A = this chain, B = another copy of it.
Amino acid sequence: MKNKPPENPAFRMTPQRAEILRFLDGNKSHPSAEDIYARLKRKFPGMSFATVYNTLQTLISNGQLAEIKIDAARKRFDPGLTPHHHLLCVRCGLIADLPARRQAPPKGAPKGFKILICNVEYYGICPACGRGGNKEKISWKKK
């Protein structure tokens, strides 16, 4: 994601928003709203959670950010707008990006269904967990 303001003229680049954009720029960790809030709080101790959600919502409507639904417990956000797939370790929760391969149009789709996006997720066991390195079953913070 390029770290510059959206074309939308109503979008004001405030310090909080600039910092959110800076944090997301090139970030491959698929942060949750809380991750972003925790990070921003360091720089803006008085910051509100609502600002994070508002900004994320704005960025999504502007097409600058995607929400990924891999984690049922919380929303995660992905600034990587070049098409890519996700690889998820069911033991430790690691989420990695994969280069997208060309996806053939699906067979069996109803006539007239217009496909916009294709999402591919692979679930499996990462090398560390496979070796028994990660004792934790699920390391995603539940708190």
Which residues of A are at the interface with B, using a C-beta cutoff of 8 A? 67, 69-72, 75, 85, 87, 89-90, 96, 98-99, 101, 103-104, 106-127, 130-131
Contact = CB atoms under 8 A, between A and B. Distances in A.
B123 A111 contact: no
A107 to B, nearest CB: 6
B112 A130 contact: yes
B127 A122 contact: no
Given A99-B108, A109-B122, 18 more contacts: A72-B75, A87-B106, A87-B113, A96-B110, A98-B108, A110-B126, A112-B126, A112-B130, A113-B124, A113-B125, A113-B126, A114-B124, A115-B124, A116-B124, A117-B122, A118-B120, A119-B120, A120-B121
